[in-house]
Amino acid sequence: MVKIKKVSDKMITINKNMQSEILMTTMEEIVPEDSLFRKIDKYIDFTFIYDEVKDLYCENNGRPSIDPVVLFKLVKNKNYFVITTNVDGQFLKAGFNHNKVFEVQGSLSKIQCAVGCHNKLYDDLKMVRNMLKENNNCTIPTKLVPICPVCKGKMEVNLRKDAFFVEDDNWHKLNHNYEQFVNENKDKKLILIELGVGFNTPSIIRFPFERMVLEYKDTTLIRVNNKYSDLAFEIEDKTILINDDCNSFIKKIL
């Protein structure tokens, strides 16, 4: 069961109905028989994604992921964009288009000069694998410690934790893509699905989403949050609050 917080009488009725529809409706019923999407599904075997992403998941520990193929299919026919403050690269691992995922706060898969002496990021997957291979009682050979190729100083993971965070050309390109997506769709029916955004960095997603809902006529916010599911009264009529854990919520609707 998805627990939904009451924001108005009208809202609670709609959501109660929606719950049962979500549980009982299948894609077979929703998508017309002659739909192009049915043909795509028939002729393209998406299981290739498992091979593509298998190296990015751990085989024997960690939290079980949502099936990457299911996540990919969720958006494959839709005009979407992802903005995230997560730095674990899960959206990209799941097969999302790299031009449509803006990781605002950096990524654990990249390293940079620790003092940002130049504006470039480096993939660290190979480096980390080598470190794990040579790991001996939590120590690694000195030769494996990365050194900045420009200033010869230390390197750091590309996370926004101090004034030296590097925003490279790709970061600026994705920032532009995000702004362009919003501008192109703000006058259409736009759904903002906010998954688990609290008050650590609310100025990146939470507050701008609330502003968009207030300003754009046909925009609706779906806020999924089991901790901070409160809302400004000005936008309560255009918002659906779902008081649930994100992982559990997504599993229920798919």
The tokens for 35 are 């739909």
Q: Which of 134, 127, 125 is nearest to 107 (CA)?
A: 125
Stretch in the footprint of Zn ion (CB under 5 A) among 23-31, 93-101, 117-125, 195-203: 117-125
CB of 13: closest distance to Zn ion in angstroms?
59
The tokens for 100 are 């449509």
Stretch in the footprint of Zn ion (CB under 5 A) among 60-68, 111-119, 189-197, 231-239: 111-119
Do 229 and 200 form a contact (C-beta atoms < 8 A)? no
Do 99 and 82 form a contact (C-beta atoms < 8 A)? no
Residue placing its CB nearer to Zn ion in the complex, 12 or 151: 151
Stretch in the footprint of Zn ion (CB under 5 A) among 35-43, 100-108, 109-117, 216-224: 109-117
CB of 164: closest distance to Zn ion in angstroms?
9
Number of Cβ atoms within 10 Å of the Cβ of 240 = 20
Stretch in the footprint of Zn ion (CB under 5 A) among 61-69, 115-123, 129-137, 174-182: 115-123
CB of 109: closest distance to Zn ion in angstroms?
19
Residue placing its CB nearer to Zn ion in the complex, 114 or 182: 114
CB of 141: closest distance to Zn ion in angstroms?
22
Residue type, 42: K
Q: What are phi and psi of 212, to 5 degrees?
A: -60, -45
Do 66 and 57 form a contact (C-beta atoms < 8 A)? no
Do 144 and 133 form a contact (C-beta atoms < 8 A)? no
CB of 121: closest distance to Zn ion in angstroms?
12
Stretch in the footprint of Zn ion (CB under 5 A) among 50-58, 108-116, 130-138, 243-251: 108-116
Do 95 and 72 form a contact (C-beta atoms < 8 A)? yes
CB of 122: closest distance to Zn ion in angstroms?
11
**Residues 128-167 contacting Zn ion, CB under 5 A:** 148, 150-151
Kindly state whether residue 113 participates in binding Zn ion, applying the rule CB under 5 A: yes
Integer Cα distance of 251 and 71 in angstroms: 10
Number of residues located near Zn ion, criterion CB under 5 A: 5
Which helix (H) or strand (E) element contains residue 111? strand 106-113
Chain residues in the site for Zn ion (CB under 5 A): 113, 117, 148, 150-151
